Structure 1
Amino acid sequence: MARDRPAASRPLRTWLAGVQHGFQQGLAGALDLPRDAIRDLPRLTLIGQGELVVENHRGVALFDQERVLVDLPAGRLEVCGHRLVIDRIDREELVVTGRIDAVRFLPGTGGDRR
């Protein structure tokens, strides 16, 4: 009986990450859960151009009226606009209001601070 082993050319860590990702995807499907509930992913809700809700954040790295940098589990989120305000913040949710002109992911920065 063949076993599912990592290929010789692929590092073990990469192989294990693939196995973990497959397990998480299968579990999310079996339990009918959204992927962000199983994996450590942020959820963004943009309401028009005036409100952004960020769930599963790791804190605010920078804030001024034209730019907000939000730490995420795997990187940062940059929010650009005018008259930006952090309306609410708690352990899981952050709400930015004002005129939001752009939202973009900055991978590989920030990080998990929990």
Structure 2
Amino acid sequence: MKKFQTWIKKWMVDQMDLPADVVMDLPRLTMVGHLHVYIENHQGVIRFTDKELRLAMTEGQIIIQGEGFIIKSILPEEILLEGIINHIHYSDNLN
């Protein structure tokens, strides 16, 4: 059933020219150089240190690693992270 739902959502994105991040509940990351990243459509903070930010997604998590991290802004589904960003990784594993 889940594969069918995903197929329908992809079809809607392709045929109706709808934004994939909204229809498929995907995160949107906007990065400016390696100095800050703005993440929309997250499901909450799992872990935050000055070197790592882990955000829950609908399926999986996003792991951002670097140095000197500061959360400049946080809203229920949006976050602005500043610092030196070295690595961004998506994991479909929730551990």
- Could you state the TM-score of these two structures normalised by the residue count of structure 1? 0.76
Residue correspondence of structure 1 range 29-108 to structure 2 within 5 A: 29-108=14-93
Distance (whole Å) between structure 2 residues aligned to residue 98 and residue 86 of structure 1: 9
Per-residue CA distance 1:61-89 (angstroms, 9 max, x = gap): 11111111111111111111111011111
Alignment RMSD (CA, Å): 1.4
TM-fit CA distance, 1:18: 2.5
More strand by share: 2
Runs of 4+ in structure 1 deviating by more than 3 angstroms, as ranges, are: none
Segments of 5+ residues of structure 2 without an aligned counterpart are none
How much identity, in percent, do the aligned residues show?
27
Q: Which amino acid aligns with 1:23?
A: I
Of stretches 44-53 and 19-28 in structure 1, the one that deviates more from structure 2 is 19-28
- Could you state the TM-score of these two structures normalised by the residue count of structure 2? 0.89
- Show the counterpart of 1:5: none
TM-fit CA distance, 1:37: 1.2
| Greater Rg over alpha carbons, structure | 1
